Each structure stands twice: as structure tokens, then as C-alpha cells.
Amino acid sequence: MIEQLVEQADLVNPALIIAGDVVSRAPAESWFEKLPLFGKKNSIYHRKTFFF
């Protein structure tokens, strides 16, 4: 059932699904949307090659 709801909502990774009684606290949980880099895509690169 959850798979169908995800497809209908067109969710993409990364996604966070909150279920249960905590849903009533949703406005308090949206702190990450206020961060300065929210919604931005960043790339980090380094010239040095790492070997493991």
C-alpha cells in the first residue's frame, strides 16, 4: 500500500515519511526547511585520488 501512495505522490529520493502520532507535530518538525542550503544542490570534489 505504501508503495502505491509513494508513486501517486511522485516522491523522489531523498524523502522522509513520517507516520504515527508525531504527524500532529509536523509544523515543529519542518526546521530543516529553514536552513540556508535547503533545496540547493551542491557538488564537492577533490583532486587527490583515494585508494582503499
Top pLDDT among 37 and 29 is at 37
- Which is nearest to 15 in space by CA: 1, 32, 36, 28? 32
Burial (CB count <10 Å: 0-12, 13-18, 19+), residue 31: exposed
pLDDT confidence of residue 28: 65
Summarize pLDDT for 16-35 with one digit per residue, the tens.
777 888 877 766 667 777 88
Question: Rounded to an integer, what distance in angstroms lies between the CA atom of residue 46 and that of residue 36?
Answer: 24
- Across all residues in the chain, what is the average pLDDT? 79
Q: Which residues contact 11 (CB under 8 A, 6 or more apart)?
A: 17
